[in-house]
Amino acid sequence: MSPPRSPPAPAKARFWDRIARKYAADPIADMAGYETTLRRVKELLSPEHAVLEIGCGTGTTALRLAAGTREMLATDVSGEMIAIAREKLAAQPLPQLRFEVADADAPVAGAAHRDVVLAFNVLHLVSDLDGALQAVLPSLKPGGLFISKTPCLAEMNPIVPRVLVPLMRAIGKAPEVLVFDSAKLQSALERNGLKIEAVERHGTKRKDMRVFIVARKPHWSHFSP
């Protein structure tokens, strides 16, 4: 009898599965900007918080943040990314942290029990921004925080999203992306019931097209997605 086979990776995971080892080995391009983001997020977390991170990649950020939380689940659509994250966790055990494969476009299991949801460098990669927000926000407690950092490709030279990215996609060197600017991203967050509390840029090198946003799910809202 042949051994059980794991289910095939969804098409959207294949690009990330292929590049996962290289992604893990590449240095962070703007370490000072990354440290500023981590510092800001740490200020907003507390040891009582249950945290979900979507699109966690190889777990670098979750491994830096989990010690300041009660529990942290970090998920990614790519099984290879999660395999690397688990290897890193095995080398640096943190009882609060676990990694799971999950698609940010699919509804998150469990009712509103998370204090914070994190989404770093992933909201431009989901199939549908409103759909992904509607999938994850029910898991956030009223009063909870949605914290994101997102490349706004519409703020780049238009040749990049209109010509270069499609060309790179055609040869398998780029994933599918959503192209929006910070204003459109903020509108999507507000449309999905969040109240924006901070909009920042942490980059220290040239123009930073990645916007860092802190948004809160109100305690009382007539909103139901």
Which stretches of the chain bind ligand SAM, using CB under 6 A? Answer: 12, 16, 54-57, 60-61, 76-78, 81, 103-105, 120-122, 125-126
Other Cβ atoms less than 10 A from the Cβ of 156: the count is 17
For ligand SAM, the closer of residues 135 and 222 by Cβ is: 135
For ligand SAM, the closer of residues 150 and 182 by Cβ is: 150
Give the CB-nearest residue to ligand SAM: 57
Q: What six digits make up the tokens of 69? A: 């939380």
Strand, coil or helix: 210: strand
The set of residues, in sequence order, having a beta carbon less than 8 Å from that of 206 and lying 6+ positions away, is none
99 and 89 Cβ atoms separated by less than 8 Å: yes
Residue reference for tokens 């509103």: 112
Beta carbon of residue 118, minimum distance to ligand SAM (angstroms, whole number): 8
Beta carbon of residue 219, minimum distance to ligand SAM (angstroms, whole number): 28
Beta carbon of residue 145, minimum distance to ligand SAM (angstroms, whole number): 17
* R_g of the chain computed on alpha carbons: 17
Beta carbon of residue 102, minimum distance to ligand SAM (angstroms, whole number): 7
CA 120 and chain centroid, separation: 4
For ligand SAM, the closer of residues 12 and 216 by Cβ is: 12
For ligand SAM, the closer of residues 57 and 193 by Cβ is: 57
